[in-house]
Amino acid sequence: MKSLSTTLIGIALTLTVVSPFTAIADDDAENTPAVNASQQAIDIAHKYPIVDGHIDVPYRLQRHWEDVTQATEKGDFDYPRARLGGLDAPFMSIYIPADRENNGAKALADVLIDQVQAIVFRAPDKFALANTADDIRSNFSAGKISLPMGMENGAAIAGDLKNLEHFYRRGIRYITLAHAKANHISDSSYDSSKIWNGLSPFGKTLVQEMNRLGIMIDISHVSDDAFYDALDVSQVPVIASHSSMRHFTPGLERNMDDKMLTALAKNGGVLMINFGSFFLTEEAMQWGKHYKEAKATFEKLQGNRLTPQISESFNRAYRKRFPYPYASVKDVVANIDRARKIAGIDHIGLGSDFDGVGDTLPEGLKDVSTYPVLIDALLERGYQESDIAKILGGNVLRVMEQVEAFAAQYSKSSAEE
């Protein structure tokens, strides 16, 4: 399914927003969609820093390059749409596929970091790197979009703590310990093989070193046992950069259950809600499972006759016969409501997974221009502006500051010994 910007291409910007940003250039405005949200929601989106825990721009550009400093035809993110939606600090995901374990993971991570730096190099008036919470706030005040970075899958560490320091110096400020398969650090929620029954011995050491350096621990994707291991070892709050509530997707270990969220709140951490329909509703989750099973059966029957074109034909035919059950903005709010009930307002954030979940985004939340739509839904649900500000970014900025403060104190104590 095409992104919101593509379907509305050619429609001029019709809403004027009050924000620290300068006006969108005419060439960008021509390809920028309008936001279907109230002026109150738009004002809130531009009044407070919006920090999104997970956006897969670097890997998207690695597969199909576009200049996201301008309006783009593909993808969920570009500068005009981010500006329109009030997005101020999208964590750029340095995504390492699970099959890169022991297969060039570090080199790929460096290339993807280069992609992020190149965005800033091409448009320093629009974007800026950000390594701290203060950087994000300063860039916000200066009217620039921050590009902090998080590594999705610690495979690039390759069992060497020197690599951890290398990536810290390059700007990595969180690491998702594993991805779709168990690695040398942690078991994965998606992997039936639990080789470590949680974190590996090296993984526990890695968490300690991440605390020391000031890198947030991200427990999205890890197994339940690994989650609890991470909380036991970490001396600072952790985050789930792009996960939702298992209450709405029974049996999906990738999401967090109520007990885990209670533990996360006690730790001081933040659950950043994933927008992918698969993570929001049981109906979409089940559709995804049935689709994968049908596709695997189809491809097995094709044998060596299988081509990308045949595979794509299957995808189209399956979706036509079994339409995808997109979630709604109300489903995102339902996940936020559940998290507030279990953990409290101080432990919720946003981790959209834009550019990472393909054609599974909810109706009304198809790209980064649409944060005001979610804000409107929260207002209608009775959320106060101060609470919305915490969800938009205040909570995760607080965790960043705590992680930074611990690292600074550790460094000071070590220097005094």
**Does 313 lie in the same domain as 181?**
no
3-state SS assignment for residue 124:
coil
Distances in Å between the alpha carbon of 124 and those of 69, 113, 370? 10, 16, 24
Between strands 239-243 and 270-273, the pairing is: parallel
Query: What pLDDT tens digit does each residue of the chain (417 aa) get?
Result: 333 333 332 322 333 333 333 334 444 544 455 678 999 999 999 999 999 999 999 999 999 999 999 999 999 999 999 999 999 999 999 999 999 999 999 999 999 999 999 999 999 999 999 999 999 999 999 999 999 999 999 999 999 999 999 999 999 999 999 999 999 999 999 999 999 999 999 999 999 999 999 999 999 999 999 999 999 999 999 999 999 999 999 999 999 999 999 999 999 999 999 999 999 999 999 999 999 999 999 999 999 999 999 999 999 999 999 999 999 999 999 999 999 999 999 999 999 999 999 999 999 999 999 999 999 999 999 999 999 999 999 999 999 999 999 999 988 888 877
**Does 162 lie in the same domain as 45?**
yes
**Does 240 lie in the same domain as 136?**
yes
In whole angstroms, what is the distance from residue 333 CA to residue 205 CA? Answer: 37
Beta bridge partners of 93: 150
**Does 307 lie in the same domain as 179?**
no
DSSP, residue by residue, 236-254: S--EEEEE-BGGGSTT-TT
**Does 242 lie in the same domain as 190?**
yes
**Does 377 lie in the same domain as 245?**
yes
In whole angstroms, what is the distance from residue 135 CA to residue 51 CA? Answer: 12
Nearest one of 292, 101, 257, 240 to 182, comparing CA atoms: 101
Q: Of the residues 294, 324, 354, which one is the last residue of a structural domain?
A: 324
DSSP, residue by residue, 1-21: ---HHHHTTTPPP-----SSS
pLDDT at 362: 98
**Does 152 lie in the same domain as 33?**
yes
In whole angstroms, what is the distance from residue 65 CA to residue 165 CA? Answer: 29
3-state SS assignment for residue 330:
helix
**Does 384 lie in the same domain as 312?**
no
Count CB-CB contacts under 10 A for residue 225. 15
For 3, the token pair is 């992104």
DSSP, residue by residue, 341-405: HHH-GGGEEE---BTTS-TTPPBT-SSTT-HHHHHHHHHHTT--HHHHHIIIIIHHHHHHHHHHH
**Does 342 lie in the same domain as 247?**
yes
In whole angstroms, what is the distance from residue 163 CA to residue 209 CA? Answer: 11
**Does 214 lie in the same domain as 312?**
no
Question: Could you tell me the CATH number of the domain that includes residue 223?
Answer: 3.20.20.140
State residue 412 phi and psi, 5-degree precision. Answer: -65, -45
**Does 313 lie in the same domain as 187?**
no
In whole angstroms, what is the distance from residue 173 CA to residue 213 CA? Answer: 9
Q: What pTM did the predictor assign? A: 0.90
Residues in the chain: 417
pLDDT at 2: 31
Count CB-CB contacts under 10 A for residue 74. 14
Q: Of the residues 268, 302, 324, which one is the last residue of a structural domain?
A: 324
Domain of 203 in residue numbering reads as 4-281+327-416
Domain total of the chain: 2
**Does 42 lie in the same domain as 126?**
yes
Count CB-CB contacts under 10 A for residue 259. 12
Question: What spatial distance separates the first Cα and last Cα of the chain, rounded to whole Å?
Answer: 59
Helix H or strand E encompassing 110 = helix 105-122
